[in-house]
Structure 1
Amino acid sequence: MRHTWRWFGPIDRVSVTDAAQAGAVGIVSALHHIPTGAVWPVEEIARRQAEIAAAGLVWDVVESVPVSESIKTQTGDWKTHIANWQETLRRLGEAGIRTVCYNFMPILDWTRTELRWSARHGAKAMRFDRIDFAAFDLHLLQRPGAEGDYDSQTRAAAADRFRAMDDDRRAALSRNIGAGLPGSADGYSLPQLLGLLETYAGIDRQRLKQNLFDFLAEVVPVAEQAGINICAHPDDPPWALLGLPRILSTAEDYADMLAAVDHPANGMTFCTGSLGARADNDLPAMARRFASRIHFVHLRNVRREEERTPCSFFEDEHLEGDTDMVAVIAELLAEEARRRAEGRADHQIPMRPDHGQEILDDLTRGAQPGYPAIGRLKGLAELRGIERALSHRTFGLAATGQTASGLS
């Protein structure tokens, strides 16, 4: 795999040089300062490439070109926003970018109730607490109709939890859940969030799926012409939130999406952390099933604290948690071997160590939550070690003749 590193631009407290020292060869970045729905200026694309090249790295993957709420709901300026998305793809293709990640989550991107929860040995990790989230929805946001989305035990536990919270904890919970896209300056107050929720009235899961398929029908042909693979990131967490449907949470969701616009340029961002929050998602099997359409990989691990969906979970160390990372990497390496044999230009799949616990000097650096320097370096080193061992001519799959599926 091609080892990459997410970088949020000059505002990031983890530098491109840090990424190079950690062992990355490519950078995953985006122009977070460009308003959602606007065309990315050519000069801004070139500036970001130059910032990355100064550290001897290349801009490998765009994560992400945001999909506006207008596109998701097919309201307002949605057709203009699609045209702008297409033009941005053309400009990125001309600049040599070959992979663009995006998501189709309504309003909220990844959602956590705690951004720096105390894990073992004093490390800090992101966490989603099911009861805290219900307390936010029912008692802070006071979303109309929210009671119907929770069972009686959850409602009772959420009421107790809310009463036990002081004002600081309530404010922090609102900030954490109302945060916008990673790296952006966006964020939603409670009134703003309630207003945005109203724009999804009447949009159920099937309607949102169809809106995604309509979007893909417009942008995939442009991506092909531009020489770009686009890849949809899964929902995080992979279940409905705040009464909003989520449509890329399971294997069947991805099967529907890939069949709706059945073209090699239309693919998947395989995020083991997002998909791994559901006990019914078999990650090695999913990697095997969608292997030819996996254009980008996020490797991280979560620990489910209860075997139910939705559940509480936290971001564990990369080789811990509930996902069999060795089996997943074996499937990805087997796919790369198949691609090389077929002569595919995209035989090397870009991968980044996603998220990471804050450890050592991370604890005082104040980086973007989930994106520490040392925690990700540790994760990348561990993942590279697995990849190297599985690929070794003496001890790896090639030596034993074993298939990747035999490890999972």
Structure 2
Amino acid sequence: MEKTWRWFGKKDKIKLETLRQIGVEGIVSALHDISNGEIWSLEAIIDYKNYIESHGLRWSVVESLPVSEAIKYGGEDRNFLIENYIKSLENLGKAGVTTVCYNFMPVLDWARTDLFYQWEDGSSSLYFDKAKFAYFEIHILKRDGAEKDYNQDILNKVEELKNTLTEEDNKDLVDCVIVKTQGFVNGNIKEGELNPVEKFNNLLALYDGIDKNQLRENLKYFLEKIMPVCETWGIQMCVHPDDPPFSLLGLPRIVTNEEDIDWFLNAVDNPHNGLTFCAGSLSANLNNDVPKLAQKFASRTKFVHLRSTNVFDNGDFIEAHHLGGRGQLIDVIKVFEKENPSLPMRIDHGRLLTEDVDKGYNPGYSFLGRMLALGQIEGVMAAVRSELNKK
């Protein structure tokens, strides 16, 4: 597989020269300065592509060309926004950038409750605490009916948190869930938002009455509209699994497991409609056998995210060591190196190590933690290829 790296543009503190020096071959990036729903011009795409190539790398994957909320919930302006999306895809195709990772998750691009969960060695990882998220829903958002989505054990923990968390803790939780995990990925809410809770609740209200079946139909509608331009320019669309892969905030999730993936691939059965195989997201669902899913969907996978999680009995999960956890990355790599070895692959969500604490990297995207993981995964890939060649 091609070794790629998520890079956040010319303002990224990690330099392209450095990435090339550590063995990165391709860049995963986006035009982050362009707002959701606006057209990516051919000139802007070519300028960005040329800049990456001037450092001896290639722009391998667009992650992401964001899908506007109105497309997801089926708003009045969705056709206008889809037309803009099609124009952006056409311009990407003309520039020769033809793999596009996107997601169809309502409101939240991904969710964690702790960005710096401490390990014994002093490093930290992203963490999802189900009780803390329930507290966020019930006592910060004050979402109607949120209590019905949680069992009594979780609700008891929520009451404990209500008696122990301070106003500062509440602000930190809002910053984590609404702002820090969203703003740097073309999110709906940016750093400096004055009333993030109010804006967030307004976004949730847009999905009133949207259930799983309706969200699925909206995805199908979107894919049917964009497939012609994908066919013309050879663009590979690859949806990212929901993160985490279960319902949050009363919102439906439609890319969480084998049945979901089967549905959207068959609903628009076109070779340009594919999957971003994120072993981390899929591993956070205890019902998913990640290597089995890799084997089944290898031919429709266009892009691979390699990370893993440890999932606890209470529903909490943490980013795991890249050679451990439920993601079973060694077995996943065996599948893709055998079945679809030309795929771009990127390391995802490395640990935050001490030397990177003060660097101001985006959550989950520190340099040293990802470089460590890249070295580990590159070794696994080399060993797998060696074994395959012997056979």
- Structure 2 residue aligned with 1:304: 311
**2:273 corresponding residue in structure 1:** 266
1:397 aligns to 2:391 (yes or no): no
Q: How does 1:321-332 map to 2 (within 5 A)?
A: 321-332=325-336
Match of 1:119 in 2: 119
Deviates more, 1:365-374 or 1:313-322: 313-322
Matched, 1:236 2:243: yes
1:99 maps to which residue?
A: 99
Q: Write out aligned runs for 1:205-244 (5 A).
A: 205-244=212-251
**Distance in 2 of aligned mates of 1:278 and 1:186:** 26
Contact 1:18 1:373 in 2 (8 A): no
User: Over residues 65-87 of structure 1, what are the superposed CA-to-partner deviations in whole Å (9 max), with x where a residue is unaligned?
Assistant: 00001000111311011011111
Are 2:141 and 1:141 equivalent residues in the alignment? yes
Give the deviation of 1:361 after TM superposition. Answer: 2.0
Name the residue aligned to 2:11.
11
Q: Which residue of 2 aligns with 1:340?
A: none
C-alpha distance in structure 1 between counterparts of 2:213 and 2:202, whole Å = 22
Q: Which residue of 2 aligns with 1:128?
A: 128
Read off the aligned partner of 1:87 and give its amino acid letter.
Answer: K
The C-alpha deviation readout for 1:201-247, integer Å capped at 9, x for no partner, is: 11001100110011111112211111111100000000011000010
Tell me if structure 1 keeps the 8 A contact 2:109–2:187.
Answer: no
Structure 1 partner of 2:186: 184
Q: CA deviation at 1:181?
A: 5.0
The code of the aligned residue for 2:186 comes to S
Of 349, 354, 359, which aligns to 2:353?
A: 359
Offset of residue 320 of structure 1? 1.9
Range that drifts further, 134-143 or 12-21: 12-21
Q: Residue type of the partner of 2:49?
A: Q
* Contact 2:2/2:343, CA 8 A, preserved across alignment: yes
Change (3 A) 1:108 1:335: same
Which whole-Å deviations, capped at 9, do the CAs of 1:37-66 have from their partners, x for residues lacking one?
Answer: 111022221221133123211111000100
Verify the 8 A CA contact 1:183 1:368 in the aligned structure 2: no
Question: Where in structure 2 are the equivalents of 1:362-373 lying within 5 Å?
Answer: 362-373=356-367
Q: Distance in 1 between matches of 2:18 and 2:112?
A: 26
SS in 1 for 2:368: helix
Aligned with 1:387 (options 352, 358, 381): 381
Percent identity at matched positions? 41
SS of 1:295 mapped into structure 2: strand
Q: Which residue of the partner structure matches residue 200 of structure 1?
A: 207
Cα displacement (A) at 1:118 = 1.1
- Change over 3 Å in CA distance of 1:102–1:185 after alignment to 2: closer
Name stretches of at least 5 consecutive residues in structure 2 with no aligned partner: none
Q: Report the CA distance between 1:22 and its aligned residue.
A: 2.2
Structure 1 Cα separation of the partners of residues 312 and 15 of structure 2? 34
Q: Distance in 2 between matches of 1:220 and 1:381?
A: 37
What residue is the counterpart of 1:349 in the other structure?
343
1:45 equivalent in alignment to 2:52: no
Name the SS of the counterpart of 1:125 in structure 2: strand
Following superposition, the deviation at residue 11 of structure 1 comes to: 2.2
Residue of structure 1 in register with 2:324 after alignment? 320
Letter of the 1:57 partner, please give it. Answer: L
C-alpha contact 2:66 2:186 (8 A) present in aligned 1: no
TM score, norm. by length of structure 1: 0.91
Question: Where do 5+ consecutive residues of structure 1 fail to align?
Answer: 337-346, 402-408
- Taking the aligned partners of 1:381 and 1:54, their CA distance within structure 2 comes to 24
1:254 corresponds to 2:243? no
**More displaced, 360-369 or 373-382?**
360-369
What residue is the counterpart of 2:174 in the other structure? 174
What is the DSSP-based 3-state SS (H/G/I as helix, E as strand, rest coil) of the residue aligned with 1:28?
strand
Structure 1 distance, partners of 2:43, 2:187, is 21
What's the C-alpha RMSD, in Å, of the aligned pairs?
1.3
Normalising by structure 2, what TM-score? 0.95
**Superposed CA offset, 1:93-141 (max 9, x none):** 1111120000000000111101122123111211111111001001111
